[in-house]
């Protein structure tokens, strides 16, 4: 394998791009599965955990990392369960494109949490990126708030809740990886996936929901969701991001919400005006600035 810096950078670029394209289909798979949002979220992480477990078995990397690691994994899994619970509902109400853009608003919430907890002041670039992000969101919606249907408004609330819970998940996941003697990323993802599945499964039992998968389309969609998003997509991104400058990485990762919106238009005939497309570009530019502001 070549260790030439240019070759390493090029390979990391390709893998990160491929990973971003893969996870851009997440919301499409959720929409295509004929199951309710909690069920699709459960199978995403359960099947994903199984795929990750197989990778670890092949690598012979299974071992016990102690009770503290398990406790942190359970807390991280709870945040991810809440994240998926809200996001999958947002997809049902506002469509894959807008739900994914709303979830990416976490780039504004992580610095806010860091400020409250650690006293870290947000950069001027980040603060300047918030107004265009909100303007872009209003342009995408394209209808005055009072004229939106109750379901659509609920979908926006769920989308913003997704960003809040995703913020908690990211901060906990980073803490797990920064612990002394932390396991490989694949191992951490596997344990967190099963922890998330546990919480979502308990919610399904509490509500009396069935674990049955009704048809082949649903099974294919759920397996595709787990394989492409929960396993391969983040596997490729997680291993390649450290080898790419932050500004370039932020730009590549914008493929996820960008393509999610495109898939929404192409596959589900989302009606989108020129103003809405302008709003998408504005929101994504603001997200990019927010993503890279701490590295600038």
- Which of the pair, 243 or 156, is modelled with greater confidence? 156
> CA 71, CA 66: separation in Å to the nearest integer?
9
Provide mean pLDDT across the span 105-113: 84
Q: Exposed, middle or buried: residue 58 (CB in 10 Å: 0-12, 13-18, 19+)?
A: exposed
What percent of the chain lies above the pLDDT cut of 90?
A: 55
pLDDT at residue number 296: 43
* Mean pLDDT of the chain, nearest integer: 89
User: What is d(CA 296, CA 285) in angstroms, rounded to the nearest whole number?
Assistant: 15
Out of 34-43, 195-204, 240-249, 258-267, pick the least confident.
Answer: 240-249
Task: Please tell me what DSSP assigns to residue 231.
Answer: I
Stretch 136-164: mean pLDDT: 91
Q: Using alpha carbons, select from 164, 64, 183, 49 the residue that is nearest to residue 113.
A: 164
Q: Higher-confidence residue: 39 or 241?
A: 39
Q: What average pLDDT does the segment 265-279 reach?
A: 90
CA distance 52 to 125: 38
Instruction: Determine the Cα–Cα distance for residues 235 and 48; give it in Å rounded to an integer.
Output: 11
pLDDT at 4 over 90: no
pLDDT exceeds cutoff 70 at 266: yes
How far is it, in rounded angstroms, from Cα 16 to Cα 230? Answer: 14
Question: How is residue 60 annotated by DSSP?
Answer: T
Q: What is the pLDDT of residue 290?
A: 83
Q: Please compute Rg for the chain using Cα positions.
A: 19
Q: What is residue 162's predicted lDDT score, i.e. its pLDDT?
A: 95
Higher pLDDT among residues 205 and 294, named by residue: 205
Q: Could you tell me the pTM of the whole model?
A: 0.87
261 pLDDT band, cuts 50/70/90, is very high
Average pLDDT of 59-74? 92
Q: Cβ neighbours of residue 34 under 8 Å, at least 6 residues apart?
A: 214, 215, 217, 218
Distance, in Å, from the CA atom of 85 to the CA atom of 215, rounded to the nearest integer, reads 22
- Region 287-292: mean pLDDT is 84
- pLDDT classification of 179: cutoffs 50, 70, 90: confident
Q: pLDDT category, 246, cuts 50, 70, 90? A: low
What is the mean predicted confidence (pLDDT) over 53-58? 94
Structure tokens, 204: 């399904």
At 245, is the pLDDT very low, low, confident or very high (cuts 50, 70, 90)?
confident
């Amino acid at each position: 394998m070549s260790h030439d810096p240019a070759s390493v950078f090029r390979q990391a670029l390709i893998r990160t791009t491929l990973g971003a394209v893969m996870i851009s289909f997440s919301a499409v798979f959720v929409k295509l599965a004929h199951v309710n949002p909690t069920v699709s979220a459960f199978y995403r992480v359960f099947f994903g955990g199984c795929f990750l477990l197989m990778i670890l078995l092949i690598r012979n990397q299974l071992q016990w990392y102690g009770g503290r690691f398990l406790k942190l994994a359970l807390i991280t899994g709870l945040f991810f369960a809440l994240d998926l619970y809200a996001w999958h509902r947002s997809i049902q109400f506002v469509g894959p494109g807008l739900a994914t853009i709303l979830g990416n608003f976490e780039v504004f919430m992580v610095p806010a949490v860091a400020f409250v907890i650690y006293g870290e002041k947000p950069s001027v670039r980040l603060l300047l990126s918030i107004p265009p992000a909100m303007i872009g969101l209003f342009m995408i919606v394209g209808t005055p708030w009072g004229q939106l249907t109750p379901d659509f408004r609920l979908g926006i609330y769920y989308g913003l809740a997704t960003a809040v819970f995703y913020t908690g998940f990211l901060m906990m996941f980073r803490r797990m990886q920064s612990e002394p003697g932390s396991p490989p990323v694949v191992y951490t993802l596997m344990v967190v996936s099963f922890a998330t599945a546990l919480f979502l499964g308990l919610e399904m039992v509490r509500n009396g929901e069935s674990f049955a998968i009704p048809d082949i389309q649903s099974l294919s969609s759920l397996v595709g969701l787990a394989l492409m998003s929960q396993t391969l997509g983040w596997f490729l991104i997680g291993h390649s991001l450290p080898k790419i400058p932050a500004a370039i990485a932020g730009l590549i990762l914008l493929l996820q919400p960008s393509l999610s919106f495109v898939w929404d238009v192409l596959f589900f005939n989302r009606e989108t005006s020129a103003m809405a497309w302008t709003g998408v570009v504005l929101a994504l530019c603001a997200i990019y600035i927010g993503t890279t502001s701490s590295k600038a």
